[in-house]
Chain A
Amino acid sequence: MCDKTTEASLETQRVSPKATVEPSQYERKRVPGMCIKCKVIKPNVTIRRSLYCKACFVRTCVVKFRTALSRSRKNTTVPRTKLMVALSGGPSSSAMLNLMADFQRMELRGTEAQSRYEDIIAGHVDESVLFPDVQDSLISEIAISLSIECRITKLEDVFATNDEAPLFIKLVQSTLAPGALKDKICAHLVKTNDSISSKKRLQSLFSSLASATDREEMLDIIKTLLLIRLARKAECGVLLMGDSGTRIATKIVSLASRGRGFSLPFEVGAESSWFDNVVVYRPMRDFIMKEIAFFNMWTKQNSVVVPTFTTGAPKRASIGRLTESFVIGLDHDFSSTVSTICRTMQKLEPRKQALNSLPCLTCGMPVENDAQAWRSRLTVSKPLAVEAEPTIQSNGSNDVPSDEDGLVRADITDVVCYSCQNILTSAASGTTFPGATVDHFLKSKGPGDAKVDIVNAKQEALRKQIETFLLNDNE
């Protein structure tokens, strides 16, 4: 990676940030200035037009992470708890795990000799069902090398019947005829006791989705849900997500363009208390990908290349991919684009309305009241002209299929967010979606909830439907 003369001096820098550091060892003819921090060492990297030497750069990263973590802690009230670090194995989450391990060591070395966090656990979602090339052993090694326990859940576990959410949504029919029918999504709540393996179910879910954009979004949804469950199971009250500033800026633009603006503060915010029992922090939000790459190189932090549906694909393969190249291109020409987008985001407070909303049955994010009215005002254009048009099912009738085999039909248009409605309407009929938040409906019975009446009423209705279904099933 680096040439041999420099490697020896790197090791000590991160562990003892105050150690004196030898100047850069190669002689280059032109050195434009000195490190912005120590002012005596030739710089090795430039970040947003500031020059840093290796040691000062690594130290700046450590401080930046600690500051972000403390800020999030201040903004939320969390008792002393275990903390889970979401680890995809990519550069950002690997750097985050390294920084968190470092944070914990520093805490334990401090005067209190007790950390704010009882324990640090890495949580990994194994995606090999969709991407068989990834070597998961490499990812657990990242945790092991930092002396951190790694809990692993498989992507298909979202369909595991003995888990928190035993119910799924089965898309019975998607009617895309223009006009009033357009918004009608027929779905069943399904309890799976058939023999289809969750692996098969997951694969068929992804093959029934209409576009790479939908697949990317569904993958994000499932990974988030699984990480939340993994954190709950490990009794971690805090979950760290490794979204970098570059990633957050990309997500903001692409989520907004997919109609997820309503839940944006929860999906990319520095901290989010939306999920029950687990608070989500994003302490890497002030790092751009360039900083993460240099941090990993200079601290010898290993990471893997996490594949996506559009790896190696042209820019226009999906909204996410298109937005990424757009944001990175902008940031290249105007070096503060990413931080500007992120800072703007920071100022967005979730609307009260959002806080009182029902969680979407599919993705678990808040559903905007009257998403259908929204839908009629808005069209989201697809990134590709060549993308296949969703198949139009013209069964002639708009009637919802009658209940059969103990299935319960749910009027899901009110409890599925705008963006998931889009995914559902263009997915193939017969697709089974994970019923992300059914557990939420089953739990929240009592009054005393601060939720708005109308929401309560809808929630109660749905809960009853689910209950009836469960009773039927046990007969």
Chain B
Amino acid sequence: MSEAEEITVNVEFSGGMERLMKDQASSIQAKLPEPATIRDLIIHVRDNVVEDKKELFSKNDTVCPGILVIINGSDWEVEDSEDTVLSNKDTVLFISTLHGG
């Protein structure tokens, strides 16, 4: 891992979100080229981690309504939502709040 160019982000899924992921993973590590925003992470997860029903995770390069994004324990909306810049070792949690999982 070349530290200057790549960051590692811990990504967690809960609330049923994990069922959409390959191997139903509830957490993964994502390596993204710097600088990376949450939008980049969402695209990365959509293209590389979501098993098949990609439309249940992401639409228009952001998450579907009803999915919460939590960066290091705080709502992404108190920051810059999709444009929030990620740092190395950040933890990003995606929670589905949909009743239908």
A interface residues with partner B (beta carbon < 8 Å): 1-3, 6, 24, 26, 28-32, 42-46, 51, 90-91, 246-247, 250, 289-290, 292-294, 297, 305-308, 310-314, 317, 320-321, 324-325, 328-329, 331-332
Given contacts A1-B12, A32-B78, contact A312 B72 (CB under 8 A): no
Asked whether any CB of chain A lies closer than 8 Å to the CB of B101, the reply is yes
Given contacts A51-B78, A305-B15, contact A310 B100 (CB under 8 A): yes
Residue on B nearest A333 in the bound complex, by CB: B65
Interface digits, B63-101 against A, CB 8 Å rule (1 contact, 0 not)?
001101010111101111000010000110101011111
Sampled A-B contacts (10; CB under 8 Å): A2-B72, A3-B90, A43-B74, A247-B99, A289-B97, A290-B68, A293-B68, A293-B95, A305-B101, A310-B100
Asked whether any CB of chain A lies closer than 8 Å to the CB of B56, the reply is yes
B interface residues with partner A (beta carbon < 8 Å): 12, 14-16, 19-20, 53, 55-56, 65-66, 68, 70, 72-75, 77-80, 85, 90-91, 93, 95, 97-101
Contacts of B101 in A (CB 8 A): 305, 307-308, 311-312
Q: Which 10 pairs from chain A and chain B are nearest by CB?
A: A2-B73, A289-B97, A332-B65, A311-B101, A45-B75, A305-B16, A44-B74, A328-B66, A46-B77, A310-B100
Q: Report the separation of the CA atoms of residues A294 and B98 in the bound assembly, to the nearest whole angstrom.
A: 14
| Contact present for B91 and A2 (CB under 8 Å) | yes
Q: Report the separation of the CA atoms of residues A26 and B79 in the bound assembly, to the nearest whole angstrom.
A: 12
Q: Report the separation of the CA atoms of residues A308 and B99 in the bound assembly, to the nearest whole angstrom.
A: 8
Contacts of B79 in A (CB 8 A): 28, 30
Given contacts A250-B99, A305-B16, A324-B98, contact A1 B93 (CB under 8 A): yes
Contacts of B65 in A (CB 8 A): 325, 328-329, 331-332
Contacts of A292 in B (CB 8 A): 97
* Distance in Å: Cβ of A49 to nearest Cβ of chain B: 9
Contacts of B98 in A (CB 8 A): 324-325, 328
Q: Quick one: which of A45, A90, A305, A314 contacts B78, CB cutoff 8 A?
A: A45
Instruction: Beyond the given A1-B12, A3-B91, please list 18 additional residue pairs across the A-B interface where CB-CB is below 8 A.
Output: A2-B73, A2-B91, A3-B90, A31-B78, A43-B74, A45-B77, A45-B78, A46-B75, A46-B77, A246-B97, A290-B97, A292-B97, A293-B15, A305-B15, A310-B100, A312-B53, A324-B99, A325-B66
* Distance in Å: Cβ of B48 to nearest Cβ of chain A: 19
| Contact present for B19 and A30 (CB under 8 Å) | no
Q: Report the separation of the CA atoms of residues A30 and B76 in the bound assembly, to the nearest whole angstrom.
A: 12
Given contacts A51-B78, A328-B66, contact A26 B72 (CB under 8 A): yes
* Distance in Å: Cβ of A27 to nearest Cβ of chain B: 10
Residue on B nearest A26 in the bound complex, by CB: B72
Contacts of A42 in B (CB 8 A): 78
Contacts of A325 in B (CB 8 A): 65-66, 98
Q: Quick one: which of B20, B55, B72, B100 contacts A324, CB cutoff 8 A?
A: B100
Residue on B nearest A303 in the bound complex, by CB: B15
Contacts of A45 in B (CB 8 A): 74-75, 77-78
Contacts of B15 in A (CB 8 A): 91, 293, 305
Q: Report the separation of the CA atoms of residues A42 and B78 in the bound assembly, to the nearest whole angstrom.
A: 9
* Distance in Å: Cβ of B47 to nearest Cβ of chain A: 19
Q: Report the separation of the CA atoms of residues A320 and B55 in the bound assembly, to the nearest whole angstrom.
A: 19
Q: Report the separation of the CA atoms of residues A31 and B16 in the bound assembly, to the nearest whole angstrom.
A: 30
* Distance in Å: Cβ of A186 to nearest Cβ of chain B: 34
Q: Report the separation of the CA atoms of residues A188 and B16 in the bound assembly, to the nearest whole angstrom.
A: 41
| Contact present for B20 and A44 (CB under 8 Å) | no
